[in-house]
Amino acid sequence: MCECVIPLARILSPSKMEERKYLFTLHEFMSDLLSSRTKLGRYPVRGSHDFATIAAILDEGFFCHVGFVVNGQPYVIPTGFGRDGHTLYIHGSAASRMLNEAGKGIALSVTVTLVDGLVLARSAFHSSVNYRSVVILGAAEPVPAAGKVRALKTISDHIIPGRWESLRPVKPQELDQTAVLRMEIVEASAKVRTGPPVDEEEDYGLPIWAGTLDFAPLSATPKPDPRLASGLPVPEHAQRYRRPKK
């Protein structure tokens, strides 16, 4: 994406000009990801179209669901992903129906959800979940062969930073068997729920425990492969694995 500087007068109304009296780069201007398709209808107060908010949720997650329609049949496929700036990368087998169809430029909906805890209200109706989610709308295109290794490294570094450098080089036949797609993040929304339950006012005096069950941040305990060569220590990137904190 170009980083050309453009006058705000070409892209913003006079009222917006009053609010922003300086120049953005084109890249920075795209940080507003609001569109008619990503505008939130329910609980808009929980929503955001700010790129920094959306990027933070994407960076803490590493598993997404890709929704698409083929011949009138909707599908939702889970897969890992990586982010580099305003670009999302997903990958899988070159024989994957999802990647083959998505690579044709069809409409996609990509979702990422982080569950932070359970909200235990005084009624089933008001019980809920504390979460952070992102929905990205758009289309994807195949990453050409010359860019596959860099894209795969982006995904690897996103999921477990530092792992790529310890691996053997990717074999040509492995690249042939792997498809990688890139999707520009230009239409997206985030939605976040935090805090305690919101009950009916008359329910607060009921003798019912209410509150939240907060989940601990994701961590991991390394478990060696049964066929691991003897004497190999656990690498630091596995021993200290943590997801970015919110």
SS3 85: coil
Q: Which helix (H) or strand (E) holds 15?
A: helix 14-19
Residue that the structure tokens 């050409």 belong to: 144
Q: What pTM was estimated for this model as a whole?
A: 0.81
Radius of gyration of the chain (CA): 22
* CA quadruple 76, 81, 83, 84: dihedral, nearest 10: -120
* Cβ(196)–Cβ(119) below 8 Å: yes
What pLDDT score does 34 carry?
A: 74
What pLDDT score does 14 carry?
A: 38
| Band (20; pLDDT cuts 50, 70, 90) | very low
Q: Tell me which amino acid residue 59 is.
A: D
| Band (39; pLDDT cuts 50, 70, 90) | confident
Residue 2 per-residue DSSP state: -
What homologous superfamily is domain 30-117+129-196 in, according to CATH?
Answer: Electron Transport, Fmn-binding Protein; Chain A (2.30.110.10)
Number of Cβ atoms within 10 Å of the Cβ of 48: 21
Say how far apart CA 151 and CA 143 lie, in whole Å: 8
Residue 182 per-residue DSSP state: E
| Band (245; pLDDT cuts 50, 70, 90) | low
Q: What percent of the chain has pLDDT over 90?
A: 69
Say how far apart CA 84 and CA 81 lie, in whole Å: 10
Domain spans of the chain?
Answer: 30-117+129-196
Say how far apart CA 69 and CA 240 lie, in whole Å: 40
What phi-psi label fits residue 56: left (phi over 0), alpha (psi between -120 and 50 degrees) or beta? alpha
pLDDT at 26 > cutoff 80: no
pLDDT 10s digits, 43-102: 667 778 899 999 999 999 999 999 999 999 999 999 999 999 999 999 999 988 888 888
In the chain the beta strands, taken as DSSP E runs, fall at 5-6, 24-25, 47-48, 63-70, 73-84, 87-93, 108-120, 128-138, 140-142, 178-184, 187-193, 211-214
What pLDDT score does 43 carry?
A: 67
pLDDT 10s digits, 121-171: 999 999 999 999 999 999 999 999 999 999 999 999 999 999 999 999 999
What pLDDT score does 32 carry?
A: 76
* Cβ(133)–Cβ(191) below 8 Å: yes
- Chain CA centroid to CA 121, Å: 29
What pLDDT score does 15 carry?
A: 39
pLDDT 10s digits, 100-127: 888 899 999 999 999 999 999 999 999 9
Report the candidate in 131, 129, 136 with the shortest Cα–Cα distance to residue 64: 136
Say how far apart CA 18 and CA 106 lie, in whole Å: 38
| Band (240; pLDDT cuts 50, 70, 90) | confident
What pLDDT score does 246 carry?
A: 55
